[in-house]
Chains A and B, each alone.
Chain A
Amino acid sequence: MSATIEAAKPALLVNGTPYEVVMGIECHVELKTETKMFCGCRNVFGAEPNTNVCPVCLGMPGALPVPNAKAIALLVKAGLAFDARIPAFSKFDRKNYFYPDMPKDYQISQFDMPLTQGGVVHFWLGDGSRGSCRLTRIHLEEDTGKSTHASRDGRIAGSTHSLVDFNRAGVPLMECVSEPDIRTAAEAVAFLETLKRTFVALGISDVKMEEGSLRCDVNLSLRPVGQTEYGTKAEIKNMNSFNSVGRAIESEIARQVAVLESGGRIVQETRGWDEAAGVTHTMRSKEQAHDYRYFPDPDLTPIEFAPADVARMRAELGVLPDENLTRLIEADKLRPEQALQILDSPGLFGYYAAVVERCAKPQAAVNFVLGDLSRLANETQTPVPESKITPEALAELVALIEAKTINSKTAKELIVRLWHAGGSPRSIVEAEGLAQVSDTGAIDAIVAEVLAANAKSVDDYRAGKTKVLGFLVGQVMKQSRGTANPTLAEERLRAHLDATG
């Protein structure tokens, strides 16, 4: 039975005192809808600038917002996937501030009555341990336009002007806020990967950091182990991949430790991650409080859910990735990284599950799927589930190996053939007589032939060069057109070589 072992956390010492890292994560995730949050413009990445815009998402005079029902449904689904509460009553508020990528100079968001509250994200770590992080809330808001700055390095500082594209303005965004339950960079990455995996599996978002459909900020502080009061936190932004998040966290931990060890004070501020330099820089002091003047948006009605609606949406969720992951690790005994690979490649989980259903040999199945099949997939640029080797065929193959009907060499050759041409391994083996020869007499006959033909090797072996045995086994295999049981072949060779002599 596998582990809910407490992952051994490396001790973090600040001047000899054990400290712990306390982190919370805030993500903005673009929802996978056809249209924007408050208007019917298309929600697509990469379109020609300012072509998916209308009076509403440009904030033109007289335009009014009307909410996208699908966006609301997807966000609620996201909350339910993580056991969040769906309050009966929820509303939209205006968050008022000025910025050139803000078409209305207020953002329609949710302040005190978000669509979901609470929840918890469970995740598996690479060492086989399980972790979790509670969610504070997930709320719905609209994205801003995108500005590019005319400067040598594309940064705001030193720019002469900026250019704004409003295609992204109004795209529906989920803001997921976690409690400060995360303690290591590995947990942060696992948390994010779990969000991504779940959102992709449920069709909620594509979650492509490189396209900006997931943006995250990490709030990080240190405190002595045992202290309940939080230390001063820094907010880290500008990470553009999950790995980047991990690196930024490690860098920031080191920075804060250095500050504390030298007797300094952590300043509450926003810091930007600089990927190239591998450090965070001050962006602005968080002490400048913004007065967003939140008030309920009078152009929109509240969203109300009856308990029956919520129950129905929960029932429609289906099996969640974390449940599948847990099954793979606990029931099928896969290693976490194997389980994650199966789950994260599109279609692979279904394929693998179909194989295991038929052959009941998870380890064998995963080894083939992640080994030979994945290699072939790469070589032929064809995803495993789209190849000609069906789950039934692979399950048959596994059964044939289990029964020792064929040896692993034959199996490997068959896989390549099945990949390209399809078919049933059992039929091929029968038709072509590829069954493994495990009859001692038959093997002995071949052994005798091989030894007779390779006198020098025999002499070498007897002279102490035992490595030559491998070559001789190879010769037996060759002689038997690959069908000899290699273990038996080796055994019989040894028997002959050691006996006579």
Chain B
Amino acid sequence: MASGDIDVAYVAKLARIALTPAEIEKFGAQLGALLEHVDALAALPVADVAATAQVIAQSNVMRSDTPVPSLDRETVLRGAPQREGAYFRVPRIIGEVT
């Protein structure tokens, strides 16, 4: 298990958080220290162990296809950072990959 330097700038991009160069360095050091601690997991014999998928095993928890009242639109849009009539208004979407 590699505990190389974490590429903080790349990860911050994935997580959509702008970081200053000073922050990149600071977090890099702090997260590096955590990863060193985490490296201890390499010692555990997990070859034949199943990863925990659920803490309490259950299956087929579902709901019926029955409508339930929706939220009132004014309540919904009142909290919007920006709205335009009945819509949420968001900045222009350039260069965003989906």
Q: Mark B9-20, 1 if CB is under 8 A from A, else 0.
A: 000001010000
- Could you tell me how many residues of chain B have their Cβ less than 8 Å away from some Cβ of chain A? 33
Minimum CB–CB distance from A395 to chain B (whole Å) comes to 40
CB of B30 closer than 8 Å to a CB of A: no
- Say yes or no: A303 contacts B93, CB within 8 Å: no
Alpha-carbon separation in the docked complex, A327 to B43 (Å): 65
Identify which of residues 43-87 in chain B touch chain A, using a CB-to-CB cut-off of 8 Å: 53-54, 58-68, 70-71, 73, 76-77, 84, 86-87
* CB within 8 Å for A33 and B65 given contacts A161-B89, A163-B87: yes
CB of A202 closer than 8 Å to a CB of B: no
Alpha-carbon separation in the docked complex, A50 to B78 (Å): 12
- Say yes or no: B60 contacts A304, CB within 8 Å: yes
Q: Which chain A positions have C-beta within 8 A of B97?
A: 97, 284, 288, 290
* CB within 8 Å for A72 and B65 given contacts A49-B87, A99-B96, A161-B91: no
Specify the chain B residue showing the minimal Cβ separation from A89: B59
Q: Which chain B positions have C-beta within 8 A of A1?
A: none
- Say yes or no: B63 contacts A97, CB within 8 Å: no
- Say yes or no: B90 contacts A161, CB within 8 Å: yes
Alpha-carbon separation in the docked complex, A482 to B14 (Å): 82
CB of A58 closer than 8 Å to a CB of B: yes
CB of B98 closer than 8 Å to a CB of A: yes
- Say yes or no: B92 contacts A67, CB within 8 Å: no
- Say yes or no: A160 contacts B76, CB within 8 Å: no
Alpha-carbon separation in the docked complex, A284 to B97 (Å): 9
Identify which of residues 32-50 in chain B touch chain A, using a CB-to-CB cut-off of 8 Å: none
From A41, A55, A71, contact of B67 by CB (8 A): A41
- Say yes or no: B64 contacts A53, CB within 8 Å: no
Alpha-carbon separation in the docked complex, A163 to B91 (Å): 9
* CB within 8 Å for A68 and B63 given contacts A50-B86, A55-B71, A290-B97: yes
* CB within 8 Å for A161 and B92 given contacts A34-B65, A34-B66, A53-B70: yes
Alpha-carbon separation in the docked complex, A166 to B14 (Å): 24
Q: Which chain A positions have C-beta within 8 A of B14?
A: 291, 293
CB of A3 closer than 8 Å to a CB of B: no
Q: Which chain A positions have C-beta within 8 A of B93?
A: 99-100, 147, 149, 156, 159, 162
Minimum CB–CB distance from A25 to chain B (whole Å) comes to 19
CB of A260 closer than 8 Å to a CB of B: no
Alpha-carbon separation in the docked complex, A291 to B10 (Å): 11
Q: Which chain A positions have C-beta within 8 A of B53?
A: 91, 296, 302
Alpha-carbon separation in the docked complex, A243 to B14 (Å): 39
Task: Decide if the interface of chain B is mainly helix, strand, loop or mixed.
Answer: loop
Minimum CB–CB distance from B90 to chain A (whole Å) comes to 4
Identify which of residues 36-57 in chain A touch chain B, using a CB-to-CB cut-off of 8 Å: 39-42, 48-55
- Say yes or no: A166 contacts B71, CB within 8 Å: no
Alpha-carbon separation in the docked complex, A148 to B89 (Å): 10
Minimum CB–CB distance from A296 to chain B (whole Å) comes to 6
Q: Which chain A positions have C-beta within 8 A of B62?
A: 66-69, 72, 303
CB of B2 closer than 8 Å to a CB of A: no
From A49, A69, A71, A157, contact of B94 by CB (8 A): A157
- Say yes or no: B70 contacts A52, CB within 8 Å: yes
Q: Which chain A positions have C-beta within 8 A of B91?
A: 161-162
Alpha-carbon separation in the docked complex, A147 to B91 (Å): 11
Minimum CB–CB distance from B5 to chain A (whole Å) comes to 18
Alpha-carbon separation in the docked complex, A49 to B85 (Å): 10
Q: Which chain B positions have C-beta within 8 A of A71?
A: 65
* CB within 8 Å for A41 and B68 given contacts A48-B86, A100-B90, A161-B92: yes
CB of A442 closer than 8 Å to a CB of B: no
Specify the chain B residue showing the minimal Cβ separation from A55: B71
Alpha-carbon separation in the docked complex, A51 to B73 (Å): 6
Specify the chain A residue showing the minimal Cβ separation from B56: A301
Q: Which chain A positions have C-beta within 8 A of B59?
A: 301-304
- Say yes or no: A69 contacts B76, CB within 8 Å: no
Q: Which chain B positions have C-beta within 8 A of A288?
A: 97
CB of A183 closer than 8 Å to a CB of B: no
Q: Which chain B positions have C-beta within 8 A of A55?
A: 71
Alpha-carbon separation in the docked complex, A37 to B40 (Å): 41
Q: Which chain B positions have C-beta within 8 A of A100?
A: 88, 90, 93, 96
Q: Which chain A positions have C-beta within 8 A of B89?
A: 161-164
- Say yes or no: B65 contacts A35, CB within 8 Å: yes
Q: Which chain B positions have C-beta within 8 A of A164?
A: 87-90
CB of A165 closer than 8 Å to a CB of B: yes
Specify the chain B residue showing the minimal Cβ separation from A145: B88
Which residues of B does A touch, CB under 8 Å?
14, 16, 53-54, 58-68, 70-71, 73, 76-77, 84, 86-94, 96-98
20 pairs across A/B with beta carbons < 8 Å? A34-B67, A40-B67, A41-B70, A42-B70, A49-B86, A53-B73, A67-B63, A69-B65, A100-B96, A147-B93, A156-B93, A161-B89, A161-B90, A165-B88, A284-B97, A291-B14, A293-B14, A300-B61, A301-B54, A304-B59
CB-CB nearest 10 A-B residue pairs: A40-B68, A70-B65, A163-B87, A69-B62, A49-B86, A100-B90, A304-B59, A301-B61, A164-B88, A66-B63
Which residues of A does B touch, CB under 8 Å?
33-35, 39-42, 48-55, 58, 66-72, 91, 97-100, 147-149, 156-157, 159-166, 284, 288, 290-291, 293, 296, 298, 300-304
